[in-house]
Chain A
Amino acid sequence: MAGPPTENTDPTGNDAQRRRRRDCLVVSLAVGVIGVTFGVFAEAAGFDLPRIVVMSALVFTGASQFAAVGVLDDGGSGGAAVGSALLLATRNALYGPVVRKTLPDSTLPRLGAAHFVIDETTAMAVAQPDRRSAWDAFWFTGVTLWLCWNLGSLAGAALGAVLSTPETWGLDAAFPAIFVALLATHLRTPAGRVAAISAAAIALGAVPFTAAGVPILLAVAAVLPALYVRHRRPSDSEEPLGGESGAQP
Chain B
Amino acid sequence: MIVLAAGSYGLKVLGVTTLGSVVERRLGPLVSLLPAVLFSALIVVMTFETAGELVLDARVVGVGVGALAVWRKAPLLVVVLAAMTVTAGLRLLS
Contact = CB atoms under 8 A, between A and B. Distances in A.
Interface of A: 2, 22-23, 26-27, 30, 51, 54-55, 58-61, 64, 68, 81-82, 85-86, 89-100, 103, 110-111, 113-115, 117-119, 122-123, 126, 167-184, 186-187, 191-193, 195-200, 202-204, 207-208, 211-212, 215-216, 219-220, 222-223, 226-227, 230, 237, 239-243, 248-249
Interface extent on B, as a size class?
35 or more
A86 B77 CA distance: 31
Given A100-B16, A199-B41, A86 B8 contact: yes
Given A91-B38, A174-B83, A243-B35, A115 B91 contact: no
Contacts, number: 276
Nearest to A196: B40
A115 B9 CA distance: 6
Contact of B14 (A93, A119, A172, A175): A93
A243 B32 contact: yes
Contacts of B71: 184
A95 B7 contact: no
B13 A170 contact: no
A170 B54 contact: no
A108 B83 CA distance: 40
A95 B20 CA distance: 9
Interface in B52-94: 52-54, 58-59, 62-63, 66-67, 69-71, 73, 75-77, 79-80, 82-89, 91
